[in-house]
Structure 1
């Protein structure tokens, strides 16, 4: 192990540790994977090579690794993810028809947000997120919607990990983040303007399951010039309520 002690984990456990290393991270170097999985670099190199050969990881031209489509396809076959996607699809299609922009369904995975589904219009704004992409919670609309309803220790871990700046409007101050999350809980929607992608804004709303727990978020990402149009906030609210109802959620008093 990294501390020099004996590592009694099985090979399978070490492989799972490598998979877990990508929680909250879109891309990692081999050294970062080794550190997160608590593996010697030589062991990480060998096991990451096996993951890559199988298709679970993909190595980019810059030498960094990301989750491969083969592992992603296994994840979306998981019953909860399938149910979420099936419940959300009609609402995502409606949002796409109404706005012509990108619409997303996303869930929290550790300190990151993972996109389960995406629909995009032909003239939608250029952006970085796609199905299977993992992005930071503090820098995305869906991330803010999910973080606002996450356990307190998740917030603490996000702050401790550092609020990385991506664009001029990225939230990098803990006090500002705390205020924004309180606003999300009060209004029911999260808005992020040119925080991750220049020229784009996102608006998102949380999705609840039958127990009332927030399990996902639905969002629209659009050209920043359309920020004042009212259909975006209204649209994600309606979609989130519909998806939540399809999952069995009943709002208090209904």
Structure 2
């Protein structure tokens, strides 16, 4: 079991794309709409760092995240569940076996899949017509729109920097590098502006702008980028 609970090998961009594509396809077969968030979404928007897992939001299931995970395992045998490392947690962790469903050694090479629903971690609900699509290995994969992805990444930075856990506080430095890469990509694309994401809840944007102000206080040279995408005052 300890072997199963470890992270299973170093992931490549192709691995992430495979798991993203297969997860979306499996959710589609269950009748669920979804979109990528987190590191996998950031990767499609210009971040060069390869994420360690997949974060995907299921938009229309009406189920709990545990029920969705069980549906995925039943639908696609490449998915499997293991208990959380924390014995106090009742949930199970979903993984995708990159060696294929027939491989006995699941721990040899696998990717964790975090299944989310709107509201968890303040993730906004997005309408199907507002979801962005990108091509991965010849398949269309849905992505959360850019400004939402950026503000959720900023939320992660804000949470990490005040965490009581040293390992999480250390993540803020990776967050900063990711945010700068996203900002530089955004200013090269006129469509990546808050005015183009009117679907976002006003409260989500307002809280995001407060975090932007905090980020600028510690990283003043980022202000020009935030202004260009409409998230900081001129």
TM-score of the alignment, normalized to the shorter chain, above 0.5: no
Structure number, greater radius of gyration: 1
TM-score normalised over the length of structure 2: 0.27
TM-score normalised over the length of structure 1: 0.25
Asked which structure has the greater RCO (Cα within 8 Å, sep 6+), the reply is 2
